Amino acid sequence: MKTAFGTGRLLIRIDDICQRSNWRVLRQLESIMVEEGVRPIVAIVPKNMDDSLVIEPPNPTYWEDLSRWQTLGYGMALHGYHHTFAQDGGGIMGRSSRGEFTGLPESVQVDMLHHGIDELESHRIHPMVWVAPRHAFDWTTVAALSRVGIHCISDGFFLAPRNGPCGSLWIPQQTSRIGRPCFGVVTVCLHVNRWGTDEILQFRKDLSNFRQYLISLDDITSVAETWPTWNARQIERGDIVNIALRTRQVLSRVLKGRRAKHLKHLS
Ligand SMILES: [Zn+2]
């Protein structure tokens, strides 16, 4: 399959950025990315209330660091509001049983988005992309995002970006491993808070190996009109990527069950 770029491309996304993230790791990744000329999407939690994202004492230069990333051309993304999971349902993607936004009325979702955007904008950080915690958001979220002026959505189990309802541009997110993209646009989502030396070394190696495939959010949005348009049903259904992911999920459940049975038999 041909994309607007003529061949497969790779976009890096780093999730769960907040004041108490593992900034020792993030700084090392930043210097590697500067060397390799990589401009990732960084998913920022505006007001983190999720204890699992608390790794270090608050970073005293947090806002300066984010501002530098913005200047470097990183794609600044809104990663929910509190990164908590009080709502039932995984929404459009159906990959999670709970979410922060799913099922809430549009006016409530608009308010939450506004609060998050205001927090970032008060420090001159301009979020351009939506990254839903645990892939959980619904069509009401998409409408609410359009009302607050965020049109890019980093999610979807398909091969390449698609234009969607309410003026949205969907940049698919399919994997957590950096590798050679055969076709389409592959977004690699990284959770780096618990990374050590080995993972950082591997990251450097991967970026250097696959440098020629790397693109940024700007590269994708600058050719937004060239991506096909899909309706809501097509986005929910996805394409071969969705089939592959669902098959893998089912098979790993089956294998897990078989292994448990085998162990029980042995004991
Ligand atoms: Zn997250």
CATH assignment of the domain containing 137:
3.20.20.370
Q: Where does the pLDDT of residue 6 fall: very low under 50, low under 70, confident under 90, or very high at 90 and above?
A: low
pLDDT tops 60 at residue 192: yes
Query: How many angstroms is it from 83 CA to the middle of ligand 1?
Result: 7
Query: How many angstroms is it from 155 CA to the middle of ligand 1?
Result: 13
Q: Which two tokens stand for residue 102?
A: 């799913």
Task: Tell me the pLDDT of the chain averaged across its residues.
Answer: 94
Amino acid present at 187: T
Q: What's the pLDDT at 220?
A: 96
User: What DSSP string describes 45-104?
Assistant: -TT---GGG--SS--TTHHHHHHHHHHTT-EEEE--SS----EE--BTT---SEESSTT-
Instruction: Let me know if residue 15 belongs to a domain.
Output: yes
Query: How many angstroms is it from 79 CA to the middle of ligand 1?
Result: 7
Query: How many angstroms is it from 10 CA to the middle of ligand 1?
Result: 20
Query: How many angstroms is it from 14 CA to the middle of ligand 1?
Result: 9
Mean pLDDT score, 115-130: 98
Give, in order, the Cα–Cα distances in Å from 62 to each of 19, 68, 80, 120, 123. Answer: 6, 10, 18, 11, 10
CA distance 160 to 157: 9
Query: How many angstroms is it from 249 CA to the middle of ligand 1?
Result: 20
Instruction: Let me know if residue 3 belongs to a domain.
Output: no
pLDDT tops 90 at residue 39: yes
Percent of residues, the chain, with pLDDT higher than 90: 84
Query: How many angstroms is it from 84 CA to the middle of ligand 1?
Result: 9
Q: Where does the pLDDT of residue 248 fall: very low under 50, low under 70, confident under 90, or very high at 90 and above?
A: confident
Residue with more model confidence, 194 or 264: 194
Query: How many angstroms is it from 69 CA to the middle of ligand 1?
Result: 19
User: Which residues lie at CB < 5 A from ion ligand 1?
Assistant: 15-16, 133
Instruction: Let me know if residue 57 belongs to a domain.
Output: yes
Q: Which of 44-48, 150-154, 212-216, 258-262 has the lowest mean pLDDT?
A: 258-262
Q: What's the pLDDT at 1?
A: 42
Instruction: Let me know if residue 2 belongs to a domain.
Output: no
Instruction: Let me know if residue 156 belongs to a domain.
Output: yes
Give, in order, the Cα–Cα distances in Å from 3 to each of 38, 51, 159, 237, 245. Answer: 20, 40, 9, 20, 21
Instruction: Let me know if residue 4 belongs to a domain.
Output: no
pLDDT tops 80 at residue 5: no
Query: How many angstroms is it from 131 CA to the middle of ligand 1?
Result: 8
Please tell me the total count of domains within the chain.
1
Query: How many angstroms is it from 145 CA to the middle of ligand 1?
Result: 18
- pLDDT per position as a tens digit, 61-92: 999 999 999 999 999 999 999 999 999 989 99
Structural domain of 146: 9-266
Query: How many angstroms is it from 262 CA to the middle of ligand 1?
Result: 35
Q: What's the pLDDT at 101?
A: 96
CA atoms within 13 A of residue 20's CA, in its CB half-sphere: 12
Mean pLDDT score, 131-146: 97
Instruction: Let me know if residue 143 belongs to a domain.
Output: yes
Pairing of strands 185-190, 9-17: parallel
Instruction: Let me know if residue 124 belongs to a domain.
Output: yes
State pTM to two decimals.
Answer: 0.91
* DSSP run (H or E) holding 153: strand 152-154
Percent of residues, the chain, with pLDDT higher than 70: 97
Query: How many angstroms is it from 134 CA to the middle of ligand 1?
Result: 6
pLDDT tops 50 at residue 2: no
Query: How many angstroms is it from 212 CA to the middle of ligand 1?
Result: 28
Among all chains, which residue has been given the structure tokens 């995002």? 145
Q: What's the pLDDT at 260?
A: 83
What's the distance, CA 97 to chain centroid?
18
pLDDT tops 60 at residue 21: yes
Q: What's the pLDDT at 241?
A: 85
Cα-only R_g, the chain: 19
pLDDT tops 90 at residue 175: yes
| Core vs surface per residue 120-154: b (16+ CB within 10 A) or e | beeeebebbbbbbbbbbbbbbbbebbeebebbbbb
Query: How many angstroms is it from 259 CA to the middle of ligand 1?
Result: 30
